[in-house]
Structures are given as structure tokens and as C-alpha cells.
Structure 1
Amino acid sequence: MDNPAYVIDFEKTSDTLKNSKKSEQLQQEAYTFEDAITLTGIGKFHYLLLLVCGLCFMSVMVEIMGVGLIMPSMKCDLESTVSEQGMLASAGFLGVVLSSHAMGFLADTWGRVRTLRYALILSAISTIISSFSVNILMLTVFRFLTGFFISGGQACVFSLCGEFHGNKTRVRYVTLLSGFLPLALIYLPFMSSIILPLQIDTTVLGMKFSSWRILLMVNSALSIIAVVGLYTIPETPKYILVQGDHDGALEVLRTIFERNTGRPRSHYAVKNIILETGGASLTDIHGFKDAVKMIWNQTIPLFYKERYLHTINICLIMFVVYGISQGLFMWFPTILNEMISKDGLGLTTCYIITNMELTTNLSTDICAGEVDTFMFNVLMVIGAAFTVFFLIFAYTIDYVGKKNLLICWLIVSGICMTVIHWITVFYISVFAITLIMAVGNCGGLVSTIAMEFFPTNINAMGMCFIMMIGRLGAVVGANIMGQIIFNYCDLVFWVFLGIVCILCFMGLVLPERKTDKKSVMK
């Protein structure tokens, strides 16, 4: 006869074993985020993501660099001095520098997508208002505000793009995203060559509404299109997971899987993801002290013992490469015009640059609307060449390695800095200066390294911080380049060569996640 006590104990033991097996099974079914995002595949969603992020990145470049192309036409209407033009040229960069830290904080606590939406909307409004400027001061102030708001579109967009990818595809797609920079160099001169030569005599609100004002408004259209695109993109699942919302992250992953594969959401294999912690939220702020404390808490991890040397190294490289490239680019249209006028005389590049007449009065042809479009054609060719470079980067970076590619590019720029002293042929000289300015492309490579180096909870803050330092270098470069290159051209390029040699050694010690070449081949 059965013992009732024994039967009850057996049933309890059996239930306990079943529960423990279920618990073990659930634990076994828990995926890391890296595995979960990889299982969504690559498809339509990621192609749309690249396009939207690319438009965001393009809008930043167009808004910041577009001022240089409207400068000759703008001077006719607003009658600005040389010093006022210098302030206008650096106003956007200064806005980016001052707001980058705040944008990184918002992206890490408020969300990448939401921060980008508001940043681009406000920058577009500021640009449209700036097109109605009645004097150089108003234009400078609103170009500063445009830079202030749009800074989020530069660094946050790398975090947005990267966090939708696994390790196997992240670097390639972030590098492709960087390729939208040269597309901006094609778009800007193309639109300028169409709009700036237009003869417009319309008067709006009592002022002459010249073609350069229309160009500013057209440039803002990129930001508006990018905002529309951002409403088709969800918040990154990695950010949501770090905020502690497991189910929300899983829903986003299912959506990506469905868009990429065309299969039902229920076919997505992942049911449970291992939680990641450390995220901060704006809901935790209840006063000014809380805000300051949270900003400090988001910033100080960048300089923790295990990463502060790498952070400083990355910042120094970004400062130098953007200082050189943007400093030269701001004066490149002026230098290019002078080289065109002296073509065929057998003069070296530096001789032409050091003997320029910078105080020459403005040409009456420009004020009459007769704009020479040859310079725009040259800039479009340069942009196309840069686009090819970035495509090569994107499809070789996984095999060559980010650091190796960075050092190779620095060496190419260094060679051009050496031979520029003896070049007398116009097209070769333009090609050499272009490759020297292309040292700024190294900023994109360093950004991919930084994006993998900083953890998710401070990733946007880290990216915005290094971009802030990079843009600070651009401000310094734009303001001092003209003063030194027009007086000491040969010496400047020799100094640049020495700096590039130092950057090569700094690049060797950058952090880099090791890539499994076999997985890349697959």
C-alpha cells in the first residue's frame, strides 16, 4: 500500500525539478544583445537607416560648410568687413563646440532619435531665419544658432547607426555613413552653381532677396527631409535595453527582423535578452543640481582609469586632423581662385599663396551676379573623389584594420605635404592640396574606433565630446590658417608634415576591437 506522505513529497520534488528545468531552459534561451541584433539580419531596414543617418550627417556638413560658398555674394548685400567675415565663417563651428557636450548628454538620457529630431528642426528654423538677415551681425548670430542646434546631428548619428548593427557589420556601415561627408561636398557646389548665378531682383520685407539667401533656404531642406526620415526609425534597441526596458528592446528587434526578412515577427528566435545596465534618464532630474550631477556622471566615465589615456589620445587626433582639414578648406575657394588666375605661369603653389592680394576689393562681376562656376566644378570633382575613397575604406576596413587604414591615409597626406613645395602644374597642385585636406577623413576612421571603445550608456556623450574637440580644432584652424599660410606657406606645410608623423605614432596606440577575419569573409 502506498505511503501518502511519500507520494506528496515525491510530487513536491517533481514540481521543484520541473521549475528548475524551466528556469534553466529560460536561462539557456537568453541571448546577448550582440547575438540578438545579429539574428535580425541585414536588409531593407538597415538600408533605410543608412540613408536617414546619411541625410542627417549631410545636413550638418552642408549647414556648417555652406557659409564659405555664399561669402562672395553675401558681401555685396551686407557690406561686411574681412574681420566680420572671419567671425561668420567660424560662427557655426563655435556653435557646434559649445553645444556638443549638451547634445551628447541629451542623446544618452533622452534618446538618440528624439534628440536628433529636435536638433534638426531647430537648426532648420534658425537657417531659414538667417536667410532673412538684414545685417552681418544678425546673420552671424543665427549661423551660430544653426551650429549650436545641429551639432547633435554629427555625433549622435554615429551612435544611432552603430547600435542597430552587430560587430560583423557595424564598422562597415559606420564608414559608409562617413561617406556622406563627400556627398555633401558634391551637393553644396552643385546647388551653388545652379542658384548663385541667378539674377534675382525680388524685394522681400524691404530688402533685396538675393540668390545666396535662396541657397541657405535650399540647404535647410536637407534637415527637413532628414527629420521626416527619422520618424520611420525607432529608438535603438541597445539604448532601450540599457534603460531597463527589456520588452521594448525586443519589440524593436522583432520589427527590424520583420522588415529585413519579410517573415512574421513570431519567427524571430530571440525571446529573452540579457539585460544591460547603467543607463540614465531625464526623469531622474528634479532640479538644477540633479541636472549638473547627471551631466557630471555622464562625463566623468570618459576619463576613468581604464580609458582616460585612450580618450585623450582620440581627442588630440580629432583636434589636429579637423584643425588642418577644416582650416585649409575654409580658405580653399580663395586659394583655388588665385591658382586659376595664375595657371600656366610655372609658379609653385606656395609662391602663389604667399603673394596673394588679400585686400583686393570685391569684384563688380560678383556683385552683378556673374559667378564663375569653374571653382564649383572642381569642388564637385573633389567630392566625387572623396566618395570613392570612403567606399574603398568601407569595403577594406574589416580586412586591413582601422588603425592600419588610418596610418596609411596619414602617410599619403604626409607625402603630399612634402611634394607640394615643388609642384607647378595646376591640376597636380589641386590634387595634392585635396589629399592634404583629406586628412580630415581620418576623423571618420577615428570615430569608428571611438564608437566601439565607449560603452552604450556613455556612447553618445563620448562621441559628442570627441566631436566637440574636433570642431574646436576646426574653429582654431579656420581662424589662424589664413594668418599663417599666406605668410609662411612653405614652413606651414613642413610643420604639418612633422605633426602627421606624430599622429602616426599616436594612431598605433589607439584602442581597436579585434575582428574575426573568418567571420568577415562569411
Structure 2
Amino acid sequence: MAINGVVLSGRNEKLSHTTLDEAMLLSGFGVYNILHMLMCGLILMGVIMQSLALGYVMPAAQCDLDLTLQQRGWLAAIPFAAIILTSYFWGWLADTQGRRPVMLFSMILSAIFSVFTSFSPNLISFAVLQFISSVFMSGPSAVVYTYLGEFNSLRHRDKMVAFGSSFVGIGTVVLPGISWLILPVEFYHPISFLDIAYRPWRLLVVACALPYAISAIFLMFAPESPKFLNAIGEYEVCLDVVKTIYSVNQRMPKDSFPVKSLIVENHINKDVDSHGIGAVLRSMRDQTVPLFKRPLLPWTCLTCFVQFGIFATTNGFYVWFPSILNSLANHDGGEASICDILDATRLPADNGTLIECNDTMNTETFERSIYIGLVFSSMYIIVGFLVDFVGKKPILVVILSVTGMCGIGAHLVPNSQVGVVLFAIFQMSGACIGLMTAVAVELFPTKYRAMAVCLSMMMGRVGSMAGSNLIGVFLQSNCGISFYLFGGIIIVNALFCLTLPGKKQDNKPVKDTVVEPAENETHEPV
């Protein structure tokens, strides 16, 4: 008899008492893993939709909240700031209290505060409630990858995490689709005691929280991660979860699972004899300081700078993308560059008064956003196929060079339609985020690998926050600078990538690269 390719004949006695990794392998791969991946994918879609929703909300809310471009810039940075400030806390909480309760608690509260945000009467209340909602939104963003990976054996873990990550791209298509359904609808419901009118943009804020609300319902029926249960000594409960996975995948009764008990493994507990903030800080210091010493210092600087530039460009511009597309769609003049059209929408009238506030969204904005989201998602797939044949370094250099030049060209071309195409290609630099994470995994020793990835991703989030604010300032004062600056940064990133090891190094076995189970790791891969 064989299960998942593992022959049981002659090994029944040995398999009846085995490790969790062996038991996960025997549980097989099938319906349970796919359904679990879809649930985690829905959570990831909720993360990206709530992170980028303000790009569609702010153009429609600018009149109600009396928003300037600078205010829209720091509002767009709120979700990224929340992730930067609280990801470590959520990771620590998930390592001590469990993955499932942390995600369930944070998703429910994030959805509730999103509803409260939709009733905000002014800018300050909107910003405060949006920040609180984003703080709870960042909980699953720091934990869901770990929760997804720990329900799969080592054989299928990378594949399932990759499939789950694809929902991030799907979210960039669903978000403009939902916005297209809601924002063009005209309704106006006054709420006198709040002194507001409930309009479509407020409903969109609630709609973007729906993936979290739906995921929370599914998560109520899902178990805790078997890896976490095993790590805290709940071996019987852990084995019962693995038996459930086996029963669903193999369509067999749970009692037929060959493993009857799990081997008690010696888990590495950091600072087991010390507690408190001092132990946490010492652990962080020991893991971080070597990254800023030779020989790792150059690679730390390279990965952090490249991720900062890509995140600042991709996420920084994305939150302004609907506003830019909407201005172009509403332009009824002759040929003009993107910046000329954006500047024209803010010019004062001849009598010195400002042009009347216009918060209508042209349907072409949503249509173009969906097309670009589809191309963006496809780019991930193309890069995934090419990387095994070409190598990471050539792909990084070519994509970053081409997209950087397209970013500068988007400002220079006099035709707005051509400018939009170049601008869309400019956004494709985001497809290199995953490649840079893979590069970081190979460049750093196993001992410091997780911290190096965390640090580079943290710098990327800082880039998102800085980019959205800087672009808001430049679009108000000097539109062209935003394209020159961030296009130039992407080109410089490409030059930095020339120093990376080549394809031979990519294929060369690394001695310290050992397949290890993710154990209490809550860092966020791309």
C-alpha cells in the first residue's frame, strides 16, 4: 500500500510514530490543500484591496472631504504606515497566541472599522478610523503566508504559497471591477446627526472589506496550524488536524491514517530563560547587526535600495493611477502630455476662482485599470516561466531598465494615449519584487535569511509610504519631476542589479541552503 508515493509496506511500525513533516507528507495533497489555499488567497486579496482602495476612494471623496493633493498623498500612505508600524507586533502575537486567532480577531475588527470609516464626517475622523482599520488589516498580511505554508508538506509548500500569492494580482483586477460597479451609481442619502450624505464612495470603503468578512466566516471553521500546535506541545490536537487533512485528501476515514503518534521534537526556543522586551531586543540585535557588517553589508544595501525603489514606484504611483486615468478620460481637448492634462485640471479660472470641484469617475478609468491589472498579473506568470531558463539577473536588469525608461517617456510623449501605455509598462517594474526576494534568499546565509528578507520588505513598505507622499507633492507642484525621479530610480536599480551573481551562481548549489520547515516564522514573502 502506498500513500502519496510513500510505500507503507514493511514500515507500518516506524510510521506509526514519526515526525510532523513525515506525517504531513503522508496526509497527501488534494482537495483540503486547495480549499485552504483559496481561503488564504481570499485573505490576501482582502489585504491588497484594502491597501490600495484609497486610490479609487479619494478621487470620488475629494469634494465631500475637501481633499488637496498633499492630503490625498498622506491618506494613501496610511495603510503602508500601519503595516510598517505593526507587522512585527502581529508576527510576535501569532508566534505566541497562534496564527488562526490572531487573523480571525484582526480581520473582524478591520472590517468593523472599515464600516465606521465609511461614516466619517471629515478628513480627521476619516484618517483616524482608516489608520485603525489598517492596523488590524496588517495582522493577516504578516501571518497569512505562514498559515498557508504550514498546512502543506515540504514537497508542495512553495507551490501552494505561489498560487496563494497570485490572489494579490487578482485583487488588482477585482478592485477596479468593484469600483466600476459602485462609483458610477448615483445615490445620496443624508444622515443628519453626522452631517454627511452617504454616497457611493462610502459604500466602496465597506465593499473593499468584504473579502475580510467572508474570510473570517471561513476561518471560523478552519483549525489552527499543525506546525504551531506541534511547536507548543499540543501533539494530540496537531495529529488530529493532520488526520483531517488526510481524510479529506484521500477520502478515507481518519482512523486509517498510519501515524498514531508524533515524535516529540526539540524545538529551538530563543531566549527560553529570559523574557520581556530586553530579550526581544537582544534577539533582534543579534539577527540584525551581522547584516550591516562585511561581507553581507553590500548585499543588504543593494536589496534594501532596490526594494525601496520598486515599492516606491509601483505602490506610490498605483494609488494615484485612478486619479491620473480619470483626468485623462475626462480630457476633451487635443493631443497633450499626461502632465499637461493633469496641470489643466488644477488651473484657476480667469476670474481667479478655482474650478468647481469635480469628483465624478469616468467609466474608462475602471476599464483601463482592469486591463492593466490583467497585464500586471500576467507579468508575474511570464517572469515565473522565464526565470528558470534565463536567470534572475538578466530579467531584473532588462525589466527595470525598460520600465524605468518608459516611466520617463510617459512624461515626454505629447500623446496622452501613448503616455498611458508607457505609464502602464512603467508599473510592470513591480513584477521584480518577487525576484528580488528570491535573490535575497540566495545571497544571505540561512541563519540571517529571514531577517534579511524582512528588512528588505520593510524598506519596500517605507518606499510605498514615501512614494505616495512625494508623488502627491510633485503632481501638485511639478508633475514632470515625479516621472523623472522615479523613472531614474528604477534605472539606477537596474544598474545595481548588474553587480548580482550571474546564472551560473544561481544554479550552483549553496551548501547552507537546506530545506527547513517554517517554524514560528511570520515574515511576509511576496
TM-score greater than 0.5 by the shorter chain: yes
Answer yes or no: is the 8 Å Cα contact 1:176–1:391 preserved in 2: no
Structure 1 CA distance for aligned equivalents of residues 178 and 371 of structure 2: 14
Change (3 A) 1:496 1:470: closer
| Equivalence for 2:399 | 412
Give 1 or 2: higher helix fraction: 1
Deviation track 1:37-58 (CA, whole Å, cap 9, x = no partner) reads 2222221111111111111111
Structure 2 CA distance for aligned equivalents of residues 507 and 430 of structure 1: 35
CA root-mean-square deviation: 3.9
The answer to whether 1:256 aligns with 2:249 is no
Answer yes or no: is the 8 Å Cα contact 2:73–2:471 preserved in 1: no
The answer to whether 1:333 aligns with 2:327 is no
- Ranges in structure 2 where 5+ consecutive residues have no aligned partner: 1-10, 516-526
Q: Deviation at 1:209? A: 0.9
The answer to whether 1:195 aligns with 2:182 is yes
Answer yes or no: is the 8 Å Cα contact 1:159–1:459 preserved in 2: no
| Equivalence for 2:226 | 237
Q: Deviation at 1:326? A: 0.9
- Which of 156, 159, 171 is matched with 2:146 structurally? 159
Aligned length: 481
The answer to whether 1:372 aligns with 2:357 is no
**Greater gyration radius:** 1
Instruction: State the secondary structure of the residue aligned to 2:221.
Output: coil
Structure 2 CA distance for aligned equivalents of residues 292 and 55 of structure 1: 34
Q: Deviation at 1:238? A: 1.9
Residue type of the partner of 1:66?
A
Residue type of the partner of 2:146?
S
The answer to whether 1:170 aligns with 2:160 is no
| Equivalence for 2:464 | 474
| Equivalence for 1:45 | 32
- Which of 55, 64, 68 is matched with 2:55 structurally? 68
Q: Deviation at 1:476? A: 0.9
| Equivalence for 2:377 | 387
Q: Deviation at 1:503? A: 3.8
1:415-454 to structure 2, matched below 5 A, reads 415-420=402-407, 421=409, 428-446=418-436
Change (3 A) 1:184 1:419: closer
Structure 2 CA distance for aligned equivalents of residues 138 and 127 of structure 1: 12
The farther-off stretch of 421-430 and 459-468 is 459-468
Q: Deviation at 1:426? A: 5.1
Structure 2 CA distance for aligned equivalents of residues 497 and 452 of structure 1: 23
Answer yes or no: is the 8 Å Cα contact 2:47–2:138 preserved in 1: yes
Change (3 A) 1:190 1:156: same
Residue type of the partner of 2:325?
L
- Ranges in structure 1 where 5+ consecutive residues have no aligned partner: 1-23, 516-522
Structure 2 CA distance for aligned equivalents of residues 27 and 307 of structure 1: 46
Answer yes or no: is the 8 Å Cα contact 2:43–2:140 preserved in 1: yes
Structure 2 CA distance for aligned equivalents of residues 176 and 491 of structure 1: 34
The answer to whether 1:267 aligns with 2:235 is no
Structure 2 CA distance for aligned equivalents of residues 504 and 226 of structure 1: 42
Q: Deviation at 1:406? A: 7.2
Q: Report the TM-score, using the length of structure 1 for normalisation.
A: 0.79
| Equivalence for 1:520 | none
Change (3 A) 1:492 1:63: closer
| Equivalence for 2:93 | 106
Residue type of the partner of 2:281?
W
1:479-518 to structure 2, matched below 5 A, reads 479-484=469-474, 486-488=479-481, 489-490=483-484, 492-503=486-497, 505=499, 513=513
Answer yes or no: is the 8 Å Cα contact 1:298–1:458 preserved in 2: no
Q: Deviation at 1:70? A: 1.3
- Which of 292, 300, 303 is matched with 2:288 structurally? 303
1:90-239 to structure 2, matched below 5 A, reads 90-204=77-191, 205=193, 206-239=195-228
The farther-off stretch of 194-203 and 488-497 is 488-497
Change (3 A) 1:416 1:321: closer
Structure 1 CA distance for aligned equivalents of residues 257 and 385 of structure 2: 29
Instruction: State the secondary structure of the residue aligned to 1:168.
Output: coil
Deviation track 1:331-361 (CA, whole Å, cap 9, x = no partner) reads 2223334444669966566x64896654569
Answer yes or no: is the 8 Å Cα contact 1:30–1:274 preserved in 2: no
Change (3 A) 1:458 1:233: farther
